């Protein structure tokens, strides 16, 4: 088995991009959904992405965006992968991937609790052209809500590369990796709210990351991999 790869999502500041890179993240996510509190413009995403060294992948997150805006955003971030997080069809995702010359990830929004009623095997088959299927909890507002779902209820053999998301933190990511390892072709993890700074009310400051939490999250992933004797 390969090591668990790591994406830090919802970044808006240079300092947070630098912290994620320093901690060892493999990918950095920029939210281009205007209703999200973590929204950045394509131009801003391009500025932040230019800080990334080779082999750290920028990922652009879209929710039901039109083709013109997707293609304009790709022009601002030439090396980015695409992540579709809304109701986009398989045909629409593939068309935009072809038009922009990019790979795409497709988010599967799994109901909280036991995930009843969601056929992940059918979803993976429908989106078989995706580079990866991102497993996220179904929340109002299309992700970033800090909610988990019952990982143990997922099918044992999912024909896709998997990215586990939804409510991950340094405290629970190891359990998520243990639950999902071996269920797909490979496994990555994606965190947003779980590494955000705390506001005065104790709630996450959406879009503002905490460098110590980022480093703690990466250490927790590496510790989980060590349990499976995975080389770094």
CA dist 181 → 83, 87, 122, 189 (Å): 22, 27, 20, 11
Long-range contacts of 83-87 (CB under 8 A, 24+ apart): 83/29, 83/59, 83/107, 83/134, 85/33, 85/61, 85/109, 85/134, 85/136, 85/142, 85/143, 86/62, 86/142
**9 among known catalytic residues:** yes
pLDDT class of 139 with cuts at 50, 70, 90: low
Question: What is the structure's pLDDT at 111?
Answer: 82
Query: Among residues 6, 84, 16, 82, which one has the least CA distance to residue 52?
Result: 16
Cα torsion 178, 182, 185, 189 to 10°: value is 0
Question: What is the structure's pLDDT at 126?
Answer: 98
> Residue 73: is its pLDDT beyond 90?
yes
Q: What is the per-residue pLDDT across 24-53, written as a single tens digit (0 to 9) for each?
A: 999 999 999 999 999 999 999 999 999 999
pLDDT class of 83 with cuts at 50, 70, 90: very high
pLDDT class of 116 with cuts at 50, 70, 90: low
81-96: average pLDDT: 97
> Residue 145: is its pLDDT beyond 80?
no
> Residue 91: is its pLDDT beyond 90?
yes
**136 among known catalytic residues:** yes
Kindly name the residue from 16, 26, 136, 225 that is annotated as catalytic: 136
DSSP per-residue codes, 68-110: HHHHHHHHHSTT-EEEE-SS--HHHHHHHHHHHT--EEEEEEE
> Residue 232: is its pLDDT beyond 60?
no
Query: Among residues 215, 214, 203, which one has the least CA distance to residue 37?
Result: 203
What's the whole-model pTM score? Answer: 0.93
pLDDT class of 17 with cuts at 50, 70, 90: very high
Question: What is the structure's pLDDT at 7?
Answer: 98
């Amino acid at each position: 088995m390969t090591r668990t790869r790591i994406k830090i999502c919802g970044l808006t500041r240079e300092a947070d991009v630098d912290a994620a890179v320093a901690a060892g993240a493999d990918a950095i996510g920029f939210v281009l959904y205007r209703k999200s509190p973590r929204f950045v413009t394509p131009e801003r995403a391009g500025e932040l992405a230019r800080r990334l060294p080779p082999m750290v992948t920028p990922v652009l997150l879209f929710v039901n965006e039109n083709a013109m805006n997707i293609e304009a955003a790709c022009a601002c971030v030439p090396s980015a992968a695409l992540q579709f997080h809304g109701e986009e069809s398989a045909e629409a995702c593939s068309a935009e991937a072809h038009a922009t010359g990019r790979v795409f990830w497709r988010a599967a929004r799994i109901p909280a609790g036991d995930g009843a009623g969601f056929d992940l095997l059918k979803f993976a088959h429908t989106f078989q052209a995706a580079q990866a299927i991102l497993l996220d909890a179904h929340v109002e507002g299309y992700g970033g809500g800090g909610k988990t779902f019952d990982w143990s209820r997922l099918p044992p053999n999912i024909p896709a590369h998997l990215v586990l998301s939804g409510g991950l933190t340094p405290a629970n990511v190891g359990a998520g990796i243990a639950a999902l390892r071996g269920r797909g072709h490979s496994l990555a993890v994606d965190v947003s709210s779980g590494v955000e700074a705390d506001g005065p009310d104790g709630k996450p400051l959406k879009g503002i990351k905490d460098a110590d939490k980022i480093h703690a999250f990466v250490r927790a992933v590496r510790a989980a991999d060590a349990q499976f004797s995975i080389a770094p």
